[in-house]
Amino acid sequence: MLDLAILGLLLEQEMHGYEIRRRLRDELGLFANISFGSLYPALSRLERSGAVTVAGSGGAVSAPIPATGSLGGERAGLRARRAGSTLGTKRSRKVYRITDEGRTLFEQLLEGDEPAGTDDARSFGLRLAFASHLAPSARLALLERRRAQLTRRLATDLARASGERLDVYTRSLVEHSTEATEHDIAWLDRLIESERLRQAPMRPAEASGDLETTDSTDLGDPRSGGAMTSTSPSGAS
């Protein structure tokens, strides 16, 4: 999953490790605890495989050595800079760029199916974040596959809720899980309907503009506050 996330971010623009970590934590929201100890080995692995390359280095430019009037003092400052210990300087940062091999790997990871029986909300959330890079049929398949997973989970929760051995507190937890799953399924139903409408071929009259313009709300147009404006599912945490 980490490789998929890194390649997806680099597909948008070149970045150094600090920026990749920030976006993994703050924007994708799926790697809240990602550390440099996990990120940099992943970047090194991707670099060795040819999926990413180092485009250059970024960072603060060292300040000029001040003239002290003392040849010995200026020489000492030069030696300190060469040793990398000049006050105020920063270690240069590698800027990473995705390669053609990396784009191919990204597509393979994005389109790959989870193992049978897997119900991984984080894996689905990551793929959905990059769903604009999927072919329409693969995007629809991703949504339908997740809906099938949640339907199975809902059936399990309903069976547990009907058990007679649950105390009031355990039953309330099961009911909460059931409500959250039902909410997520309804959210996915709207996404699936909107996706199908986008992919539906236009009728000849529509293509020629002979029909009156249909209200975008009826089609689940995301700009009209329709299907795609729902918030992310509570089960994707």
Q: Is 164 exposed, middle or buried (0-12, 13-18, 19+ CB in 10 A)?
A: exposed
Are 5 and 126 a contacting pair, CB within 8 Å? yes
- Read off the pLDDT of residues 148-179 as tens digits, 9 standing for 90 and up: 999 999 998 888 887 778 788 888 888 899 99
- Read off the pLDDT of residues 210-231 as tens digits, 9 standing for 90 and up: 544 444 434 344 333 333 333 3
Determine if the pTM surpasses 0.75: no
Are 24 and 9 a contacting pair, CB within 8 Å? yes
Order of strands, sheet of 93-98, starting from the edge strand that comes earlier in the sequence: 15-16, 93-98, 52-58
The full set of domain ranges for the chain reads 2-108, 115-236
CATH, domain 2-108, list 3.40.50.300, 3.50.50.60, 1.10.10.10, 1.10.1380.10: 1.10.10.10
Residue 51: CB atoms within 10 A of its CB come to 23
